[in-house]
Amino acid sequence: MELLGLHHVSILTGKAEKNYEFYTKVLGMRLVKKTVNQDNTESYHLFYADAEGTPGTEVTFFDIPGLGHTYPGTSDISTVSLRVQTTSALLFWKKRFTHFGIQHDPIQKRAGRDTFAFRDFEGTRLILVADNGDTGVRAGIPWRRDDIPLEHAIIGLGPVTLTVSLAEPTIGILTEIMGFRYVSSYPSLEGDYPEIQVFATGEGGSGAEVHIEARPDLPRARIGRGGVHHVAFRVPNEEEYLQWVQRLKENRIANSGMVERYYFKALYFREPNGILFELSTDTPGFATDEPMETMGQKLALPPFLETRREEIEANLRPLDLI
């Protein structure tokens, strides 16, 4: 029973139209599913990923118009990384971001890898990380666009950084409950603060890492638009998913219980610093109700919501994604 790596991250947006433009037309990711937030069907839920919607490549957004600002701090998924193949790709993206006027930092080393930090239009803190032949979790399949060479395209999720006031409780849940292992540490780029600790699961590598940043000097984060709602980790199949349900129960960790999302099964719980974790199955995937070739082109509803399609569509604001 081992988590394979990162499954997806879910972020909040106040403007789905502009979000779609940024993540597809600027970053070159594929919209693989346009659906609704199953816990609030008046809100869209957009999934961007690689060409096939592969687990471990997904960045999802809940659309909440009028949402307030994010105020960074602790108990926060403070950065999300996206994988590219090489440092040459980072140089391509640096030129592209300059062209589009996107705020970015210099290329810097993090955990021994070349990385390139930038922000989207709502301030989401993102990092491109170069694999450069790194071993570990397999990358995804890039989505083909004429203006982004395939060798420079985004190929999946890289490490997430958790910023916490006290590292030990979060490390405890990662290592003692979730099976992560310590890999290394690297200096903070923010100043004279504790080194950032790196933990990995499964085959390891960029697509299976969590980085822990201890910042007791910061206030607790307040999440709004551009803030990361939760991070999900990959469970290979339903059999192991049921074992994880039992494991959390045996360790008396408060959790959601089994949640059927149709495209995957989910299990939610908060680690000791209050960050929301999700365990998600790789199966059945996003092509279960749409052909692979046309995923994301229409509003998709799981079977348990399909009977309410007319009501749901009537309560959704029009969303023109072109």
User: Is the Cα torsion angle 146, 282, 205, 125 positive or negative in sign?
Assistant: positive
| pLDDT, position 313 | 95
Determine, yes or no, domain membership for 1. Answer: no
Residues 205/211, Cβ–Cβ less than 8 Å: no
| pLDDT, position 320 | 80
Identify the residue whose tokens are 């939610």: 268
Determine, yes or no, domain membership for 321. Answer: no
Determine, yes or no, domain membership for 145. Answer: yes
Q: Residue 12: beta bridge partners? A: 62
* Residue-number span of the structural domain to which 122 is assigned: 6-315
Determine, yes or no, domain membership for 231. Answer: yes
Determine, yes or no, domain membership for 137. Answer: yes
Determine, yes or no, domain membership for 320. Answer: no
Determine, yes or no, domain membership for 267. Answer: yes
What is the domain count for the chain? 1
The tally of CA atoms less than 13 A away on the side-chain side of residue 135 is 2
| pLDDT, position 108 | 97
| pLDDT, position 321 | 83
Give the pTM. 0.96
Surface-to-core class of residue 191, CB atoms within 10 Å of its CB (0-12 exposed, 13-18 middle, 19+ buried)? exposed
Determine, yes or no, domain membership for 307. Answer: yes
Q: How far is CA 128 from CA 66, 113, 143, 296, in A?
A: 28, 10, 16, 24
Residue 119 sits in a domain whose CATH number is 3.10.180.10
Mean pLDDT by 10 residues, the chain (322 residues): 97 96 97 95 96 97 95 97 98 97 97 97 98 94 96 98 98 98 96 96 97 97 97 97 97 96 97 98 93 93 95 92 76
Q: What gap in Å lies between CA 245 and CA 101, rounded to an integer?
A: 45
